[in-house]
């Protein structure tokens, strides 16, 4: 157990009320500003920019888009371009220039219904290869996009005649050179699928018993190391993605936390073994993963299987009565984070002493 005086503290720095339902908070690369995206009362989209200035949060821009926005990422944007990719309620994938957000600079009908989740890779100097975006939808499809073209690079569709399962989470990983790249997809029935983009094949699937809400690799630009999968029923799982066993697949550990849906799992950009989870009860939990002495063991038949470490809770803090549905660590300032919650609040917090864990 950690000595309370040396444990990281989670301190609220500033907050502001918003006049829409916020779903996404994302820092604008290399700036003290972040975007908050969501849906207005009349189902139009809200796109607001907030700046940290003199200890307060100031809204510096707000535009209304034709359709409510559900998800967004800067992951496929070059630093200097600051281009935000968003998914909306009508299945549209749009890319916006944050400096001139009045009109999307790229637009494609990505899905036949709401785009629930999105991730990007190849931008922000993270990950080898060209920038790509992945979207997951209520229509049961997961599609990968090259922002220079309007047809998907790759599409994972439900089998013909099968009732489509809603995709709630997507994440890029394994992008450690110009060829390798993996997408993890999570569905409302707990199905988890791993897609190898180089071969365009599904290489692994399992079921985690609860609807998957969020997925993140601890790093996108290294050989797969760890992956967090957050779910309904107050649970999340950490998978060790370094070792694949022919029958057991990837090893994992499960944690019960937050007494409600675990909405987000977010690894600290400056230390991949530190992670924040966000709960439907308005709490933030900060965790540290500790590796085992040996990460693999022989199963007795000559196959290696992964050995899990442990997850220590460093701190927990309640910020809201309502679910905190989005969270983003700053790439520039370790410990600085932005979040939004369904009580129509955006918040910036600072997590201290992260260099000590």
Q: Which of 319, 345, 346, 348 is nearest to 335 (CA)?
A: 348
The beta strand positions in 78-233, using DSSP E, are 83-88, 92-97, 106-109, 115-121, 132-137, 142-145, 154-156, 167-173, 182-187, 191-196, 201-207, 212-217, 226-231
Percent residues over pLDDT 70 in the chain: 98
Q: Is the per-residue pLDDT at 2 higher than 70?
A: no
- Asked if residue 204 lies in contact with residue 244, where contact means CB atoms within 8 angstroms, the answer is yes
Q: How far apart are CA 314 and CA 165, in angstroms?
A: 35
Q: Taking the model in full, what pTM does it have?
A: 0.95
Q: Is the per-residue pLDDT at 4 higher than 80?
A: no
Can you name the residues that pair with 253 across neighbouring β-strands? 238
What are the tens digits of pLDDT across the range 106-147? 999 999 999 999 999 988 777 788 899 999 999 999 999 999
Q: Is the per-residue pLDDT at 1 higher than 60?
A: no
CA distances to 141, 162, 183 from 113, rounded to whole Å, are 10, 17, 21
- Asked if residue 83 lies in contact with residue 41, where contact means CB atoms within 8 angstroms, the answer is no
> Average per-residue pLDDT in the chain?
94
Is residue 341 within a helix (H) or strand (E), and if so which, with residue range?
Answer: strand 336-341
What are the tens digits of pLDDT across the range 58-83? 999 999 999 999 999 999 997 678 99
pLDDT score recorded for residue 239:
97
């Amino acid at each position: 157990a950690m000595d309370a005086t040396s444990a990281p503290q989670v301190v609220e720095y500033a907050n502001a009320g918003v006049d829409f339902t916020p779903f996404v908070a994302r820092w604008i690369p290399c700036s003290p500003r972040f975007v908050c995206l969501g849906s207005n009362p009349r189902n139009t989209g809200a796109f607001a920019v907030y700046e940290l200035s003199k200890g307060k949060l100031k809204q510096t821009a707000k535009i209304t888009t034709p359709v409510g926005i559900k998800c967004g990422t800067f992951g496929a944007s070059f630093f200097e371009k600051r281009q935000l990719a968003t998914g909306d309620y009508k299945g549209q994938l749009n890319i916006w220039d944050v400096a001139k957000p009045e009109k999307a600079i790229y637009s494609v009908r990505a899905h036949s219904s709401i785009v629930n989740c999105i991730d990007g890779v190849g931008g922000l100097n993270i990950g080898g290869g060209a920038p790509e975006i992945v979207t997951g939808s209520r229509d049961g499809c997961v599609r990968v996009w090259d922002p220079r073209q309007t047809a998907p690079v790759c599409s994972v569709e439900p089998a013909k005649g099968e009732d489509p399962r809603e995709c709630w989470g997507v994440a890029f990983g394994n992008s450690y050179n110009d060829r390798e790249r993996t997408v993890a997809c999570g569905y409302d029935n707990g199905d988890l699928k791993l897609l190898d983009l180089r071969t365009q094949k599904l290489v692994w699937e399992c079921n985690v018993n609860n609807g998957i809400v969020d997925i993140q690799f601890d790093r996108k630009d290294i050989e797969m190391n760890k992956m967090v999968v957050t779910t309904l029923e107050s649970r999340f799982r950490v998978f060790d993605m370094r070792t694949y066993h022919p029958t057991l697949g990837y090893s994992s550990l499960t944690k019960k936390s937050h007494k409600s849906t675990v909405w987000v799992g977010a690894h600290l950009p400056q230390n991949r073994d530190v992670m924040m989870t966000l709960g439907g009860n308005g709490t933030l939990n900060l965790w540290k993963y500790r590796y085992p002495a040996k990460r693999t063991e022989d199963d007795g038949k000559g196959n290696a299987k992964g050995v899990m470490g442990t997850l220590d809770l460093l701190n927990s803090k309640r910020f809201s009565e309502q679910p905190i549905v989005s969270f983003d660590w700053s790439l520039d300032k370790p410990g600085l984070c932005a979040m939004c919650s369904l009580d129509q609040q955006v918040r910036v917090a600072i997590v201290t002493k992260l260099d000590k864990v």
